[in-house]
Structures are given as structure tokens and as C-alpha cells.
Chains A and B, each alone.
Chain A
Amino acid sequence: MKSNRPGKIIGISLNYIVLSVVSLVMLVPFLWMLSTSLKEPAKIFVFPPELIPWPIRLENYTEVLSGTPFHLFYWNSLYIAVLVTVGTVFFASIAGYAFARIPFKGKNLVFLVLLSTMMIPNEVTSIPMFLFMRALGFINTHVPLIVLPIFGAGGIFGVFVMRQFFLGIPKELEEAAMIDGCSRWRIYWSIMLPLAKPAIATLTIFTFLTSWNDFYDPLIFLNDRELMTLPLALSLFTDEAGTAWHHLMSASVMATLPLLIVFFFAQKQFIEGVSMTGMKD
């Protein structure tokens, strides 16, 4: 039954060819972006395109950095994403722990209510939220961008991920600690949380990614250029008449790079985490 070898070799080669073509299509935008970001403006539309531009024009990068408040966009994106991630992981993990392990009154009802609201599209609540934040004076500040994701659908998703994970940890560990007189907080902080590293890693990457790339909320809540996050700032570059593609592309490279670096190093854990939180039955 071992199928004929030539057939198998053809099959595998076909496999590689198909994968190469698809991967190429996936990577063309990046290669194009990278290549354009290093080109002289006059050479951008030259055909056939030079994949490796010469001379390399690194000024595209320095011009973006000096010509726009790019360091501010970067900083805004970064600190918002970090705060959102830390907040989400913290609040979601304590709630997830309680839902998984503490038998308190009304737990199932509360959990069910949280669960059922995960489907509420952001766009529905963002309209009253805009008025609410305006009444509180938080329009054109970063407050909504930090607070809303932590307690919104992303936070609730985090509660599930963490609850899920804590349910899988053997009860004996905790019972021993309880007999020794550990408080719930101690148990959570010193025993359960360190065990939850894989779940935390997954939630961290997911949350960071979502926050870093968020577009809708910054579009609604921010007006001032200095307050903008990277995706919003980049989208405004294209609106201006006569887009400077070489600048836009170098800005895009800079906006994408940190995530690709994070992904490169966290890739194994992330893909496993996706499968773990998404798929175990």
C-alpha cells in the first residue's frame, strides 16, 4: 500500500510549489513596502520595478521621523497597548480565577451575562460611549482607548481564556494551600498565576496586537495629531493630496516592525496558544 514513490515526490513538490506561490502573494505587500520605503521618490513608479533599490535612501525614514511627530505616534501606540494589556491580563485573570475556582453566590448568572454580551458589536456601544466620554471631558484624550478595551469584549474574552485555563489546573494544589491557611489572594497570586504563564502569554500577545492595530476607537475619540496612534496617523497620510508613498511606506515599515519582531520570537508560543485556547475540547 506504500504508494509509488514518483507519485509521492510529485505530490510533495506540488505541495511546495503551491505553498511558495501563496506565501509570495502574502509577502509581496511587505517586500513592496520595504523596497518603496528605501527608494528615491522619482524611482517609485519606474517600471520594471527595482526590487532592491539603488541608491538606498534611508532619508525616507529620517524625514518621516523629523517631519511628523512620529515618535509621538509610536509612544502613544506603545504605552496605550502596554496599559491595555497589563490591565486586561490583571482584571481578566482575577475574574477568570474566581469564575473557575471560587464557589460564590450568583457566579453562574454573572458569568452567563458576561458571556452573552461578548457579541455586542463595538459600533453599537461606541455611539453612547462617545457622548458619555464627551460629557466627562475625555474626548481627545487616551482615557477611552485604555479603559474601554479592558472592560469591553476583549476583557471578557480574556476572562474566558483565563477561566478556561484555571479550570484545567488540578484542585489538589489549591486545597493543600488552603489547609495551610493561605488566603484566596495568596493562592491566586503565588500559586495559580505562575502556573498560568501560557494562557497569559497568549492573552498578552492577542491583546497587545489588538490594541496596537485598533483603528475604530482612535478614529472616533481623537482629533489632535499629537495624540494619534500609528494606524490612525498612517491612514491620514494617504488622505492628503499627492501622497508621498516613499514616506508612507517607511512609516508603515516602522509601524509593522515591532510586531513582526515580537511575533518572530513568540511565534511558537503564540500559534500553540491560539490552538490551545481556541481548540481544546
Chain B
Amino acid sequence: MESNLNVPASAQRKAKPTRNPLGREANVAGWLFVSPMVLGFLALLLGPLLLAFYMSMTDWPLLGEPTFVGLENYQALFHDEEFWTVVGNTFTFAAGLVPMNIVLALGLALLLARKLPGIGIFRTAIFVPVMTSLIVWAIVWKYLFATDTGFINQILQLFGITGPAWLYNTKLAMPVVIVTSVLKNVGLNMVLFIAALQQVPAHLYEAARIDGAGRARQFFRITVPLISPTIFLTTLLTIIGSLKVFGQIYVMTQGGPDGSTKVLVYYIWEKAFKNFEFGYASALAFVLFFIIFVFTLLQWQYRKRWVFHEE
């Protein structure tokens, strides 16, 4: 270094990687290794994202030229009654699904984290729906909830109750979709909770028991605080997932009856790929993006406590 004192500092810094053959090799190798992923990402994710943003500011008919309209699509959203209904439905779905999913997943994890004979069978049974195609799951439940011939109404018939037209009732359709969606995915959160529970050191419970702490006290004073990062993050991930609900709506209700289950992604799909209003649909998609962005920021704040090793 001393012999280089006369050389400007910037040149020294520049010279450094080339002087070290290993460093240069690392640059070439590193970029070669990540280039397919990065190029794919630029062409298939970032590019389309920027284009989508531009599209959201155009009137883009199926045939013909797009015209730039600035923020008109976004302004139109505010006056679109259906948009507000759809946003409301999306939040209703999330608000119904998330607490039910988290509570049930945690409850099941508590029951299944114990080492009891035959516990693997139950774990598997609850995890199997996660493996199933959402579409198959939705089709079967649509069938079970069928009005006259459905399994559930036939069971109710045994007790002399005439079951309602579940999926054709504006008040019942959404709850049915929510419950079946919870059952579909509760297994995944359950597995994550089991993993978290198994990392709670057993000696903490022993100490608490010696101090005379009951089950409930142990749960709220030891279990919950120690697995709280997992609770927090599964909750956020479940919220983000639920804001994107589509498949089960498409199969079970097609957004009906009377728009009572029409959610944001369904509306986007309808506008974009049924009506071919690409500009308006893009604006809708950016609203979804913004909502998810807010929740993702929260998750990002806590990432160190969860998934990734930081160097």
C-alpha cells in the first residue's frame, strides 16, 4: 500500500479487484451463476411489472391502440361501486379465514406436538388436504354443500332440518367458502407451529411445573412468547395468501350469489381476461399489490426472526 501513496485513492480502489485474480474470478463466476435467474427475473417479472404500471395508466382495449389516460383508471376505481364491494369481500374473507386458521392450526399443533402413539396418522390426515389440488378440494366441497342432494343437507335432514341453499344464499356463501378454505390449508400452518413448539426447551416447562404453574399459565407465559415470531409470521403469510384467494371462488360460487363472494383477484381476472379491459384491470392489480406491499413490509421488518440466515 505504501508504495501506492501517490496514486489517487479512487484508482487504488478500482485497481483492487483486478489485481487479485481470485477476486476477478469470483466476479465472473458469481455473475455467471446468477445470470439465468437474474435475466429471467428482469424479463419475466420486473419488465412485466413496469409494463403493468404503465398499463394501469392507459385505456387498453382488446383490439386497437392503448391511449395514455394518466390516473383516470385509479380515479374511476373510487366511483366503482363494485370495486368497493369486492375489496370489502376480500377483507371479509381474510378477516374470517386468518383467525380461524391460526387458532385451529395452533390448537392442533399443541395436540400433535406430544409424543403419543399413532400421532403420525392424525398429522397425515390433517396434512393431506394441503397436498390436494385446491380445485379438487373446492369441487368436492361444492358437492357436499349442494342444496338438495348434498351430503351436509342430507345429514341435516336426518334431524328433520331442511338445510339451506348454502352456496346460493348471499349470507351463507362466503362463510362456506371461508370454512372450506381453512380446512384446506390449516395443515401447513400446523406443521410450522409443530416445528416451533418442538424448539421450545422442555426444561422451561419442568421449571414452571415445579413452581406450580398450571397448563394455561405455562401456555401463555412460556409457549406463546417463545413461538410468537412464528405466530406473527404465519399470520402475515396467511393474510397475504388470503388476499389472493381465487380458485375456490372460481369453482364454488363464480363470485355469486349477487356478488357476495366476488373478491379482488376474481374481479381482476374478470376485467382482464373476460372483458379484456387491461388498463382498468392493471389498476385493480396495483391496488392488490399495494395492500400486499403493506403487509409484506411488516413481514420484512421481522424477517431476521424467521426464515433467513443473515450473514
Contact = CB atoms under 8 A, between A and B. Distances in A.
Contacts of A29: 129, 137, 140-141, 144
Most buried by B among A105, A123, A150: A123
Given A123-B285, A155-B37, A278-B307, A231 B136 contact: yes
Contact of B154 (A20, A49, A215): A49
B40 A15 contact: no
B200 interface: no
Contacts of A280: 309
B134 A215 contact: yes
Interface stretch (B3-11, B94-102, B189-197): B189-197
Task: Report the interface size class on chain A.
Answer: 35 or more
A190 interface: no
A155 B311 CA distance: 21
Interface string A9-22: 00010011011101
Contacts of B140: 29-30, 32-33, 249, 252
Nearest to A245: B143
A27 interface: yes
Nearest to B284: A123
A173 B268 CA distance: 51
Given A23-B122, A220-B273, A152 B308 contact: no
B126 interface: yes
Given A117-B45, A119-B292, A281-B229, A22 B309 contact: no
B126 A22 contact: yes
Interface in A169-193: 184-185, 188
A177 B114 CA distance: 44
A159 interface: yes
A184 B261 CA distance: 53
B43 to A, nearest CB: 8
Contacts of A213: 132-135
B303 to A, nearest CB: 9
A98 B133 contact: no
A196 interface: no
A49 B151 contact: yes
B139 A274 contact: no
Given A105-B27, A231-B136, A131 B144 contact: no
B40 A23 contact: no
Interface in B286-300: 286, 288-289, 292-293, 296, 300
A34 B191 CA distance: 26
Interface string B196-224: 10110000000001101000000000000
A19 B296 contact: no
Interface in B112-130: 112, 114, 116, 121-129
7 contacts: A32-B144, A124-B289, A127-B278, A132-B51, A156-B41, A160-B308, A271-B191
Given A94-B37, A275-B194, 14 more contacts: A94-B34, A95-B36, A119-B240, A132-B51, A215-B247, A216-B246, A234-B133, A235-B139, A252-B140, A256-B133, A277-B307, A278-B192, A279-B199, A279-B230
